[in-house]
Amino acid sequence: MKKEKRIKAVFFDIDNCLYDTSLQAERARKNAIKAMINAGLAVDEKKAYALLTKIVRKYGSNYGYHFDRLLEALGFERNPRIIAAGIVGYHTTKLAYLVPFPDTVPTLLQLRDMGYKLGIITNGLAIKQWEKLIRLGLQHFFHSVIISEEVGCEKPERKIFEIAAKSLAENPEKCVMVGDRLDIDIEGAKKAGMVTIQIVRSKKRAKKPKNEFQEPDFIIGNLKELVDVLNSLQ
Amino acid sequence: MKKEKRIKAVFFDIDNCLYDTSLQAERARKNAIKAMINAGLAVDEKKAYALLTKIVRKYGSNYGYHFDRLLEALGFERNPRIIAAGIVGYHTTKLAYLVPFPDTVPTLLQLRDMGYKLGIITNGLAIKQWEKLIRLGLQHFFHSVIISEEVGCEKPERKIFEIAAKSLAENPEKCVMVGDRLDIDIEGAKKAGMVTIQIVRSKKRAKKPKNEFQEPDFIIGNLKELVDVLNSLQ
C-alpha cells in the first residue's frame, strides 16, 4: 500500500508571493505622479511621490481618494483633470505590472501534478482579491480561496487558517502556508498548526522574527524551491 | 481690414460625438457577461445581457454595483469571484473601445488651425469625464472643458451653455454646439442662443425633435462635415 502523504494542501498568500506587489505599487504611484505633472500639477516629482507614499500608508491601500488628499497636502484645490490623470497613470501601470512571477504558474502546475490541493489565504476586499487572481490568469488554479472580508477574520488570526484547512477537509497539520510576512502569514499559520514557509523574494525587504511563532519552518527565495521543501516533508 | 468671423468657438459633447460610447457600452457589457460565465455563473448569455442593460438603465451608468444587482436579479447569492470577473471583463473592454472616432483628432486639429476656440460641454462626474478625455488622448485639445458636476447645472439647462460661452469670453451667438442628443445637446444650446449642429453617427439611433428647440440648425454625419458647415456660417 502506498504511504499516505504527510502534507496534503499548500496555501499561498497573493501579494509579493504570487506577483510583485511592491514593485507594482511603486511603479504605479510614480507613473501617477508623472501623469499628474503632465496634466498641469506644478510639483517636484520626488517630493510628490514621498508625500503620496505617506498618504497611502495613512489611509490604507483600499481608500478611494489618495490623489484628492495629495492635492490637499500640496496646497492645491481639488482639480478633476489632474486627479483623473493620476488615476489613469496609476491604473494603466497597475495592470501592466499585474503579472505572475515567472515561477508562479509552472510551480502551481507542478504542485497540482504532484497531487497537492492548492489554496489562497489573503487579507483584503473579496472582489479586489478575486480581480487580482483573474488578471494574473490564476482564477482556475486553486481548490479554495479564502479572503478575510468573506470569512470575517483575517491573518494573522489563527481562525482564518483553520477555516482554510477545513475548506479543503484537512487538519492544519497537513497544510503548508507560504507567504512573505512573518507577522501576518507565518505567525498565524504556525499558531494554527500549519507548516510555515517564508518566501523572501527580496532580501532588502526581509525582517527579523519578533517571537517564536514568527520563525518560519523553512525559508525559500522563490516558488521553485517549494518543491524540494515539500519533498523533504514526505 | 479682415472681416471678423461670425463664429468664434465650437463646443462638443463627448459621448457618441468624439468616441463611440454606445458601441463601447454594449461590447463591455457583453464581455462582462462572458467573463462571469467563465467564472462560473450558470446563466444564458443573452438573457443576462438583457437584464444587465435594464439594471444599468435603472441605476444609472455611474452606479458602482451593477453586477451585484445582476446576481440578485438572477437569484444568485453575492459572489465576489463572479463579480470581479465581470469587472475585469467590463473594464478591459471599456479601455479597448475608449478610442476617438477616426475623424475626431484630424478635425479638432483642423479647427484649431482655422482659429476656432474649442470646448467641451458634458454631463457627468468631473473625474470620470476627464478620465475619458485623457484616455482618448484629447486632454490638451480644448480651451475650455465644462462638466456639469463642476458648474452645478447640466445640459439641457441653458445656464451651462452660457457658462461655457463665457469661459471663452464669447457670446453664445458666436458659439456652435455639436452633439448627438436633441433633448440634451440641441435643445439647451438653442435656447441659450448657440448655433446647433446635431451629429448623427448612426441613423438607427436618431430620434425626432419633440419641440422647435430640438430642431438643429444643421445635421452632420461625421465631424469632417463640420468644416463645411462652419465655412458656410462665415
Interface of B with A in 101-140 (CB under 8 A): 126-131, 133-135, 139
Tell me the chain B residues in contact with residue A126 when contact means C-beta distances shorter than 8 Å.
80-81, 84
Within an 8 Å CB–CB cutoff, is residue A229 touching chain B? no
Selection from A156, A146, A217 nearest residue A191 by Cα = A156
Q: Using CB atoms, which residue from A85, A127, A135 is nearest to B83?
A: A127
pLDDT score for B5: 81
Selection from B17, B72, B62, B5 nearest residue B41 by Cα = B72
The ipTM value here is 0.75
* CB contact (8 A) between residue A127 and residue B85: no
Confidence label for B131 from pLDDT (cuts 50, 70 and 90): very high
Cis omega (within 30 of 0) for bond into B156: yes
A63: left (phi over 0), alpha (psi -120 to 50) or beta: beta
Confidence label for B3 from pLDDT (cuts 50, 70 and 90): low
Cis omega (within 30 of 0) for bond into B100: no
Q: Yes or no: say if A176 and A11 are a contact pair by the CB < 8 Å rule.
A: yes
pLDDT score for A48: 97
Residue of A nearest to B145 (CA): A81
Cell numbers placing B96? 479597448
Mean pLDDT (whole number) for B29-45: 94
pLDDT score for B64: 92
Q: Are strands A195-199 and B175-179 parallel, antiparallel or unpaired?
A: unpaired
Distance CA A35, CA A86 (A): 6
Cell numbers placing B234? 462665415
Within an 8 Å CB–CB cutoff, is residue A39 touching chain B? yes
Interface of B with A in 56-95 (CB under 8 A): 80-81, 83-85, 87-88
Residue B122: what are its φ and ψ, rounded to 5°? -140, 145
Q: Are strands A175-179 and A9-12 parallel, antiparallel or unpaired?
A: parallel
Helix (H) or strand (E) holding B195: strand B195-199
Within an 8 Å CB–CB cutoff, is residue A210 touching chain B? no
Q: Does domain B22-96 have CATH number 3.40.50.300?
A: no
Confidence label for A205 from pLDDT (cuts 50, 70 and 90): confident
pTM of the model: 0.83
pLDDT score for B218: 97
Selection from B181, B223, B201 nearest residue B20 by Cα = B201
User: Which residues in chain B are classed under CATH 1.10.150.520?
Assistant: 22-96
Distance CA B190, CA B198 (A): 11
Across B78-109, b (16+ Cβ under 10 Å) vs e yields: ebbbbbbbbbbbbbebbbebbebbeebbebbe
Convert the pLDDT of each residue in A41-91 to its tens digit: 999 999 999 999 999 999 999 899 999 999 999 999 999 999 999 999 999
Mean pLDDT (whole number) for B192-220: 92
Helix (H) or strand (E) holding B158: helix B158-167
* CATH fold label, A9-19+101-233: Rossmann fold (3.40.50)
Task: Name, in order, each residue with C-beta under 8 angstroms of B81's C-beta and a sequence gap of 6 or more.
Answer: A126, A130, A133, A134, A139, A145, B39, B40
Cell numbers placing B67? 453586477
Distance CA A84, CA B135 (A): 10
The region of weakest confidence among A44-58, A98-112, A197-211 is A197-211
Is residue A2's pLDDT more than 70? no
The region of weakest confidence among A1-5, B64-68, B85-89, B230-234 is A1-5
User: Which residues in chain A are classed under CATH 3.40.50.1000?
Assistant: 9-19+101-233
pLDDT score for A226: 97
Convert the pLDDT of each residue in B78-111 to its tens digit: 999 999 999 999 999 999 999 999 899 999 999 9
Confidence label for A5 from pLDDT (cuts 50, 70 and 90): confident
Cell numbers placing B177? 454646439
**Alpha helix segments (H runs only) across chain A:** 21-38, 45-59, 66-73, 80-96, 104-113, 126-135, 148-151, 158-167, 187-192, 225-233
Mean pLDDT (whole number) for B162-185: 97
Distance CA A51, CA B30 (A): 40
Mean pLDDT (whole number) for B150-176: 97
Distance CA A164, CA B209 (A): 61
pLDDT score for B206: 77
Mean pLDDT (whole number) for A208-227: 96
The region of weakest confidence among A150-154, B38-42, B53-57, B165-169 is B38-42
Is residue A1's pLDDT more than 80? no
CATH code of the domain made up of B9-19+100-233: 3.40.50.1000
pLDDT score for B2: 54
Confidence label for A154 from pLDDT (cuts 50, 70 and 90): very high
Residue of B nearest to A145 (CA): B81
Selection from A124, A115, A122, A139 nearest residue A178 by Cα = A122
Mean pLDDT (whole number) for B29-33: 95
Mean pLDDT (whole number) for B160-173: 98
User: Which residues in chain B are classed under CATH 3.40.50.1000?
Assistant: 9-19+100-233
Is residue B187's pLDDT more than 60? yes
pLDDT score for B102: 87
Within an 8 Å CB–CB cutoff, is residue B96 touching chain A? no
pLDDT score for B202: 82
Q: Distance of CA B132 to CAs A32, A88, B37, B135, B143, Å?
A: 16, 9, 28, 5, 16
Q: What percent of chain A has pLDDT over 70?
A: 99
